[in-house]
Amino acid sequence: MALLVQRPKGTQDVTPKESCKWHTVEQITRQTAEQYGFSEIRTPVFEDTGLFVRSVGDTTDVVQKEMYSVTAKGDASFTLKPEGTAGAVRAMLENGLMNEGFPQKVYYITPCFRHEKPQAGRLREFHQFGVEMFGTASPYADADVISLAKTVLDRAGLKNIELFINSIGCPACRAEYHKALKEYFESYKGDLCETCLSRLEKNPMRILDCKSPVCSKIAEGAPVILDYLCEDCKNHFESLKDILSSMGIAFTVNPKIVRGLDYYTRTVFEFVTTEIGAQGTVCGGGRYDGLVQQLGGQPTPALGFAAGLERLIITMEKQGCEFIAPEPCDIYLASMGDAAQKKCVELAVMLRDEGFKVEYDIVGRGLKAQMKYADKINAKFSMVLGDNEIESGSAKLKNMKTGEQTEISLGEGFADAFSDIAVADMFNLKSDTL
Ligand code: HAM
C-alpha cells in the first residue's frame, strides 16, 4: 500500500503493542521522582524563542542548528522546546514558585524537538523525563539528584551503565579556562569548521562538543577545565565525590564532559551505555547556578538532569529488561441473538462499574468467531448468553485457562458473584473458601 502521507523523518509512532514499554518507564520515573520529593510541572510545548537563546545559549548546536522555530502572525518567534529545563525555570519564575521556600523540586515528562540527523537513539521528536531542583548549592543536592537518576536506571533493570562526572567551574574559574582554550584552538584556526571559528571568540568551550570529526579530533588535545577550577569549585567537586562514594554510587571522573548547553556551572554528569551505539548517553545533567538570575529571577543555585525515554527503552530492550504487561480482559460476554446481546450490554455496565475489564461483541460475529476473539484478547473468563440463559436467569462462567465452568446468576448479585470467582482465581483459591 502506498501511503499518501508518512510520518516526518526522525519521529516515531508508539503502537498499542509498544505502549506498555512507555507505561513502564513513565511509571518508574514518576514514582521515583515523587519518592524523592519532586512534584510534576507541565509547561507548553512551544515557548518564546528568546527563552532558549538566553538559556541554552546562542553559540550551542541546539540553538544554532537544531531548533524548530516559527514566526507566528505578527512577528513573535516561537520554538518547539528542544529541552525541558528552560521552560521549567521560566514557569517557576512566572508562577512565583521561587517565593514558596527552598528547595523547590519539580519533574516533567515532555516531548522535545531537535533538528538533528536521525540515527539509532537520535530523533527529531524525542521524550525527556527530567527533574529540576532550586535553591540549594550543597553538594548533597548534587548527590541526591544523581542518586535519583541512578535509582530510575536501576529500577528499569539496567546494568552496565557508567556514571561520568566532571566540574566545569563557575564564571570566575571559567574566564582563565577560556583564555587557555582560545590559545590552544587559535593554533588550529585553519582546520576548525565555520561554526567553531565563530565560537572561538565568543565561547571556545562550545568547540569541545562540536560534532564535526575534525573539530572533535582537535578538541581531544585541548586543556581540561579541572586544571583551572577555583578553590570553591574544587571543594564542591571533592565533597560531591566523597558523598557519592559514601552512598555507594560508583563514578568515573571524565574531565572531557562539558555538556552541550551553555547554562551549566560546576557539576556536570552523564550516565552512558556502550550497548546502543554512538548515542549512548541515556541521561545527562548538572548544576546551573546562574540560569535563574539570567532569566530575571533572584540569584538561585539550581540543578537537574534529563533522561531520554527512547534511549532508556532501547537499552531496556537490548538488555532484556521486563516491561509491565498490559492487563488482559477479565471477561468476554458472548451472545446469540438480540435479547442476549442487550443483556450482555447490561452485565458489562455492571462489571465495568466494579472495575473489571469487559468486552462483548460489537461487530455482529457468530458465536464461534466471538470465542476465537475471546481467545485472541486473552480473556480470563467467558460467558455465553442465548435465549435459554435469558429465560433461566443464569449462565455458565468459563475459566478460559482451566476450562472450569461455574453456574452464575444473572440477577442483581451478578457482579459480586463474578468478583468472588475472579479474586479466587487470582489467588488460586476455590471461590467457596473466600
Ligand atoms: P541533554 O543532554 O541535551 O540535556 O538531553 C538529555 C537527554 O535527552 C540525553 O541524555 C538523551 O538521553 C536525550 N536526548 C537528547 N537529544 C536527543 C535526541 N535527539 N534523540 C533522542 N534522545 C535525545 C538536557 O536537555 C538538559 N535540559 C538536561 C538537564 C536538566 N540539565 C539540568 N536539568
Per-residue pLDDT of the chain (434 residues; tens, 9 = 90+): 789 999 999 999 999 999 999 999 999 999 999 999 999 999 999 999 999 999 999 999 999 999 999 998 877 999 999 999 999 999 999 999 999 999 999 999 999 999 999 999 999 999 999 999 999 999 999 999 999 999 999 999 999 999 999 999 999 999 999 999 999 999 999 999 999 999 998 999 999 988 889 999 999 999 999 999 999 999 999 999 999 999 999 999 999 999 999 999 999 999 999 999 989 999 999 999 999 999 999 999 999 999 999 999 999 999 999 999 999 999 999 999 999 999 999 999 999 999 999 999 999 999 999 999 999 999 999 999 999 999 999 999 999 999 999 999 999 999 999 999 999 998 876 555 54
The pLDDT value recorded for residue 123 is 98
The pLDDT value recorded for residue 430 is 57
Residues with Cβ < 8 Å from 409, sequence gap 6 or more? 393, 394, 417
Residue 207 lies in a domain: no
Nearest-angstrom CA–CA distance, 131 and 305:
6
Asked which of 294, 318, 342 is the last residue of a domain, the reply is: 318
Tell me, yes or no, whether 113 and 161 share the same domain: yes
Per the structure, the complete domain to which residue 362 belongs is given by 331-422
3-state secondary structure of 230: coil
3-state secondary structure of 109: strand
CATH number at residue 132: 3.30.930.10
Tell me, yes or no, whether 246 and 107 share the same domain: yes
Asked which of 292, 318, 344 is the last residue of a domain, the reply is: 318
- Output the CA 395–ligand 1 centroid distance in Å: 56
Tell me, yes or no, whether 294 and 337 share the same domain: no
pTM for this entry: 0.95
Tell me, yes or no, whether 163 and 111 share the same domain: yes
Tell me, yes or no, whether 343 and 383 share the same domain: yes
Q: Is 83 in the pocket of ligand 1 (CB under 6 A)?
A: yes
Question: Whose Cα sits closest to atom 25 in ligand 1?
Answer: 83
Residue 7 lies in a domain: no
Nearest-angstrom CA–CA distance, 148 and 139:
14
Residue 65 lies in a domain: yes
Asked which of 318, 341, 372 is the last residue of a domain, the reply is: 318
Q: Is 128 in the pocket of ligand 1 (CB under 6 A)?
A: yes
Q: Is 271 in the pocket of ligand 1 (CB under 6 A)?
A: no
- 430, three cell numbers: 476455590
The pLDDT value recorded for residue 429 is 65
Q: Which of 230, 239, 218 is nearest to 165 (CA)?
A: 239
The pLDDT value recorded for residue 86 is 98
Residue 178 lies in a domain: no
Residue 279 lies in a domain: yes
The pLDDT value recorded for residue 432 is 53
Residue 196 lies in a domain: no
Tell me, yes or no, whether 268 and 159 share the same domain: yes
Q: Is 284 in the pocket of ligand 1 (CB under 6 A)?
A: yes
Q: Is 285 in the pocket of ligand 1 (CB under 6 A)?
A: yes
Tell me, yes or no, whether 312 and 336 share the same domain: no
- Output the CA 145–ligand 1 centroid distance in Å: 15
Report the number of distinct structural domains present in the chain: 2
Residue 175 lies in a domain: no
- 203, three cell numbers: 565561547
The pLDDT value recorded for residue 209 is 85
Q: Is 126 in the pocket of ligand 1 (CB under 6 A)?
A: yes
Tell me, yes or no, whether 151 and 251 share the same domain: yes
CB 145 within 8 A of CB 285: yes
Tell me, yes or no, whether 358 and 249 share the same domain: no
Tell me, yes or no, whether 236 and 110 share the same domain: yes
CATH number at residue 397: 3.40.50.800
- 77, three cell numbers: 518567534
Q: Is 307 in the pocket of ligand 1 (CB under 6 A)?
A: yes
Tell me, yes or no, whether 273 and 361 share the same domain: no
The pLDDT value recorded for residue 125 is 98
Question: Whose Cα sits closest to atom 2 in ligand 1?
Answer: 284
Residue 144 lies in a domain: yes
Tell me, yes or no, whether 132 and 106 share the same domain: yes
